[in-house]
Amino acid sequence: MRKLLVTGGAGFIGANFVHYWKEKYPDDEIIVLDLLTYAGNMANLQGLERESDYRFVHADIVDQDAMTSLFVEHRIDTVVHFAAESHVDRSIHEPDAFIQTNVIGTHNLLRAAKQVWLDIDNAPSSHRFHHVSTDEVYGTLGRDDPAFCETTPYAPNSPYAASKAASDHLVRAYHHTYGLEVTTSNCSNNYGPYQFPEKLIPLMIVNALTGQSLPVYGDGSNIRDWLYVEDHCRGIDLVMSKGTIGETYNIGGNNERANIDIVKDICARIDAVFEKHPEHAEAYPDAPAANGTPTESLITFVKDRLGHDWRYAIDAERSESELGYAPIESFDTGLDRTISWMLENESWWRSVTDGSYRDWLETNYD
């Protein structure tokens, strides 16, 4: 039985991971650590209500003393590190929090892990620090460039990507210098339930349902490689169970799409769902689809993001051949699942977008 610390476990991918892990390894003890920034949400852990499902610790990974105490108090032997500031647009306008959380916070966790796992006598018999990172550390690709592989040189372009690159290097250094048992995964763009509606796919769905414009940056030709979040969780599980200590593994979806095609695809699916289920028109009267207007009419081309990376693509060959990784969800089924989830979970996205969740949080967590 492992004692797993999941940092950022109330965020999008972290919460999906907690659901995934609890289902697959019900006997493991899970400690969810989260600062509950704007992106963290206790409702993302809904359905895990039994006391034995997980324990929650409200803390900041930038607080070194709190991190060391946590490792000691809970006898943590495994860390899966998701906690981060994760939105590129925010990093362009306010980079400080990205340096604090992604760089200093990751270093504090590594230092606490080293102290408790390597420097004292009664350390757990085995340990693992798994670091969750992104393909954005590799920079941007041209149309004909080969996809990113594990040996692609780092060339981060946004403050977000640079802060994640720094954290990846720290994880590597703690293995090389001190022998900390680490693995790292670099994954492409995720989508699915519980994603905060500031990222492309959930933002477009919420805006389409509420009749707001669908802002496409630049000419919409930028390409991302999309992966359904559960497939990312499976990939992390494989790296943790079969990966070589000290190594990095790329996880991707083999699913490159231009932003404008994604947005049009979402519009077409929403039109089709409203046509098939006229009851949605009552629930979402402001959606163009509610009165038969194509959702595409909301698409608006806006000023491009500063330093906007043009293309990301992951070559996951190493994970496929060494770990047996392969995504299960197709983009077709994954996007349908995501749209259905958003239609069925209106109260979730309304509460995170209208501020009512923050009010609840303030009265429940100081």
Residues at the interface with ligand NAD (CB under 6 A): 7-8, 10-14, 34-37, 39-40, 60-62, 82-86, 101, 105, 132-134, 164, 187, 189-190, 196
Catalytic site residue from 136, 231, 237, 271: 136
Residue nearest to ligand NAD (CB): 11
Q: Which is nearer to ligand TYD, 124 or 215 (CB)?
A: 215
154 is catalytic: no
> 10 Å Cβ neighbour count for 50?
8
| Smaller CB separation from ligand TYD, 39 or 216 | 216
Neighbour count for residue 324 (Cβ, 10 Å): 9
If one asks whether residue 88 binds ligand TYD (CB under 6 A), the answer comes out as yes
Q: How far is the CB of 103 from ligand NAD (least distance, A)?
A: 11
Partner from ligand NAD, ligand TYD, none contacting 200, C-beta within 5 to 8 A by type:
ligand TYD
Report helix, strand or coil for 186.
Answer: strand
Binding track, positions 300-339, relative to ligand TYD; x by CB under 6 A: -----x----------------------------------
Part of the chain binding ligand TYD (CB under 6 A), chosen from 41-49, 198-206, 274-282, 336-344 = 198-206
**CA dist 237 to 183, 278, 327, 357, Å?**
11, 40, 13, 31
| Contacted entry of ligand TYD, ligand NAD, none for residue 60, CB cut-off 5 to 8 Å set by kind | ligand NAD
Largest CA distance in the chain: 69
Concatenate the DSSP letters of all residues of 208-240 into one string.
HHHT--EEEETTS--EEEEEEHHHHHHHHHHHH
236 binds, among ligand NAD, ligand TYD, none (CB under 5 to 8 A by kind): none
Q: What angle do CA 365, 91, 110 make, to 5 degrees?
A: 65
201 token code pair: 């796919």
- In whole angstroms, give the CA distance from residue 126 to residue 24: 21
165 binds ligand TYD (CB under 6 A): no
Report the distance separating Cα 66 and Cα 21, nearest Å.
25
Active-site position among 20, 54, 138, 160? 160
Q: Catalytic: 160?
A: yes
Burial of 296 from C-beta contacts in 10 A (0-12 / 13-18 / 19+): middle
Q: Any idea which residues carry the catalytic annotation?
A: 135-136, 160
Q: Interface residues with ligand TYD (CB under 6 A)? A: 88, 189, 199-200, 203, 215-217, 222, 224, 259, 305
